[in-house]
A and B are shown apart, each in its own frame.
Chain A
Amino acid sequence: DAGVIQSPRHEVTEMGQEVTLRCKPISGHDYLFWYRQTMMRGLELLIYFNNNVPIDDSGMPEDRFSAKMPNASFSTLKIQPSEPRDSAVYFCASSHRGPEAFFGQGTRLTVV
């Protein structure tokens, strides 16, 4: 398996624009996680899905953030409108039946 695949790897956007991050989990994994990593706050769990259903979105910072998982092989994290403080590395991870997660390489988002 190719592992968890995220796209794009880097994204630079202007404040106020919509940003969509994409993730393809490992085939057969039934859990999908979105994390955000910053120098100040470290690695934070934003939301996770089980069998395509959002289970816990308590880490989503505000209504500007939304995540979807339309099928078992694809998820998106959307920020609309984006703000400079959203600049971070966003990781997608997946797991099978447990908390042992496999991470993608991340998307480095810069909002200017």
Chain B
Amino acid sequence: AQSVTQPDIHITVSEGASLELRCNYSYGATPYLFWYVQSPGQGLQLLLKYFSGDTLVQGIKGFEAEFKRSQSSFNLRKPSVHWSDAAEYFCAVGARGYQKVTFGIGTKLQVIP
């Protein structure tokens, strides 16, 4: 069974600073990988996904993530954070050929002026 670890429960960054949120997964083969964002009181919105091909994927809102097979990681990055990026971010992993996706516990991002 697949699993995903988000080691940082809470991260605080200054507005304009760069951001990297960590995600490590466990799965025997090449997985499907996702990053979702959840604003308070809202549902989850897909930021980006990796299925195959280029290991650097671009998403919405200026986010990108890089799949590193050797490190079993799929870290999310943004070069310059905006106050509106404050939210909770979830990494998720899925097995090819299956619809079930396993979510990480989430990383709550706080942005300070």
Task: Give A contacts to B, CB under 8 Å.
Answer: 4, 31, 33, 42-43, 45, 48, 50, 55-56, 91, 93, 95, 98-106
Contacts and interface: CB of A to CB of B under 8 A. Distances in A.
B43 A91 contact: yes
A43 B90 contact: yes
A42 B99 contact: no
B106 to A, nearest CB: 7
Given A42-B104, A42-B105, A43-B90, A50 B99 contact: yes
Query: Chain B interface mostly helix, strand, loop or mixed?
Result: strand
B25 to A, nearest CB: 14
A105 B42 contact: yes
B26 to A, nearest CB: 16
Contact of B98 (A99, A104, A105, A106): A99
A55 B99 contact: yes
Given A42-B106, A99-B32, A100-B34, A4 B43 contact: yes
A31 B46 contact: no
Contacts of A91: 43-44
B89 interface: no
Contacts of A104: 43
Interface of B: 32, 34, 36, 41-46, 49, 90, 94, 98-106
In the A-B complex, list the 4 residue pairs whose CB atoms are closest, starting with the nearest. A103-B43, A43-B103, A99-B94, A103-B44
B103 to A, nearest CB: 4
Given A48-B99, A55-B99, A106 B105 contact: no
A30 B44 CA distance: 19
Contacts of B104: 42
For A50, A55, A99, the residue with the greatest tally of chain B CB atoms inside 10 Å of its CB is A99
A103 B106 contact: no
Contact of B101 (A4, A42, A99, A106): A99
